[in-house]
Amino acid sequence: MIKIALSFDDGRMDNYVMAKEILEPLQVPATFNITVGYIKKEDKIEKPSDHEPMTIEQLKELSSNTQFEIASHGYEHNNDINNLIRGAIELRKILGLSEIEKIGIVSPRSEFDTSKLSTIIDNFMNNNISYLRVGKRFEKNSFIRKVVRKINRKINIPSLYSWVYNQSNIRKDDNFLIYTAGIIKDNKLKEVKKLIDDAIKNDKSYILTMHSILKANEKFYDDLFTWDYYDFYKLCKYLKKLENDKKIIICKTKDIINGK
Ligand SMILES: [Zn+2]
């Protein structure tokens, strides 16, 4: 059975609200990727966005629910290796975890240069980092896929969206790097459903990465990294139906690697 993981970047306040109102009642697991300096509201750091961050207390509350995983998304929102490691160390402190507790890292903007990984992998290992999630790697026809992805953001044909991502999103031979399908405002519900339907057919697991989940009357609703609250609710109901039909397992990012 394939696995589908839902993942939310940055630590935005609306993620907390959505988790309480949608994920907890529906019992949908998810991973929240936290930029530590952002939720500590530190000045003069590289922030992910102008959105209100969730509070430390809200983060701890999510962390105390076994339905959720908390991963690191940098201390600041950039891919400097020391910043990524610092984010993981400081996040453990906030959550009251020991330094040997494994934690995942999610690359800010998914821009980590994986060609550098071999030279710094020991740094990740020595700091008990369990995985590094990066952007989608288009292996075959990568230029064409990128162009089609751009065009399809205007015309929204589900089979095109699925084709763009329909490769080994999560590579079975990797046990450290994880790839992800990013979902932004221009990717419609019907496209994401089609991606999941095809994933089942092709026996491939996916991580669906999102940012803000907001209602139409809320600030930042029109932002490119916002997804509609009610569409997201429908997506969760769809995933739960597939899970009840024993077609998918909804899991956390770390379960994609660790098996379940
Ligand atoms: Zn981010």
Q: Classify the phi-psi angles of 48: left when phi > 0, otherwise alpha if psi is within -120 to 50, otherwise beta.
A: alpha
- How many angstroms is it from 143 CA to the middle of ligand 1? 24
The predicted model gives 106-114 an average pLDDT of 85
- How many angstroms is it from 107 CA to the middle of ligand 1? 8
Q: How far is CA 55 from CA 24, 131, 184, in A?
A: 18, 25, 24
Q: How many separate domains does the chain show?
A: 1
- How many angstroms is it from 230 CA to the middle of ligand 1? 23
pLDDT digits 0-9 by tens, 115-174: 888 888 899 999 999 999 887 665 566 788 788 888 888 888 888 888 777 654 555 446
- For residue 49, is pLDDT > 70? yes
Structural Rg of the chain based on CA atoms? 17
Which residues are in the CB-under-5-Å shell of ion ligand 1?
Answer: 9-10, 48, 108
The predicted model gives 73-83 an average pLDDT of 96
- How many angstroms is it from 236 CA to the middle of ligand 1? 22
pLDDT digits 0-9 by tens, 181-208: 889 998 999 999 999 999 899 888 888 9
Higher-pLDDT residue of 177 and 136 is: 177
- How many angstroms is it from 11 CA to the middle of ligand 1? 9
- How many angstroms is it from 171 CA to the middle of ligand 1? 22
- How many angstroms is it from 73 CA to the middle of ligand 1? 7
Domain assignment of residue 61, given as a range: 2-258
- How many angstroms is it from 49 CA to the middle of ligand 1? 8
The predicted model gives 229-256 an average pLDDT of 96
The predicted model gives 8-29 an average pLDDT of 98
pLDDT at 260: 40
pTM: 0.91
- Distance separating alpha carbons of residues 40 and 75, to the nearest angstrom: 10
- How many angstroms is it from 194 CA to the middle of ligand 1? 25
The predicted model gives 221-241 an average pLDDT of 97
pLDDT digits 0-9 by tens, 84-99: 999 999 999 999 999 9
Confidence of residue 178 (pLDDT cuts 50, 70, 90): confident
- How many angstroms is it from 201 CA to the middle of ligand 1? 31
Q: With contact defined as beta carbons under 8 Å apart, do 212 and 223 qualify?
A: yes
- For residue 20, is pLDDT > 50? yes
CATH of the domain at 230: 3.20.20.370
Which amino acid type is present at position 112?
Answer: F
Side-chain-side CA neighbours of residue 233 (13 Å): 11
- How many angstroms is it from 210 CA to the middle of ligand 1? 9
